[in-house]
Amino acid sequence: MSGNQADPRADSYTAARVNDALTILRTNGMPPALEFMQLVGVPRSVAMRVLSLPEQQRRGDRRRLPR
pLDDT, tens digit, for every residue of 8-63?
555 888 889 999 999 999 999 999 999 999 999 999 998 998 898 866 666 655 55
* Predicted local confidence at residue 53, as pLDDT: 80
User: In a 10 Å sphere around its CB, with 0-12 CB exposed, 13-18 middle and 19+ buried, how is residue 41 labelled?
Assistant: exposed
- The secondary structure of residue 60, as a DSSP letter, is S
- The secondary structure of residue 21, as a DSSP letter, is H
End-to-end CA distance of the chain: 15
pTM of the predicted model as reported, rounded to 2 decimal places: 0.67
Q: What DSSP line would sit under 28-48, residue for residue?
A: H-HHHHHHHHHHTT--HHHHH
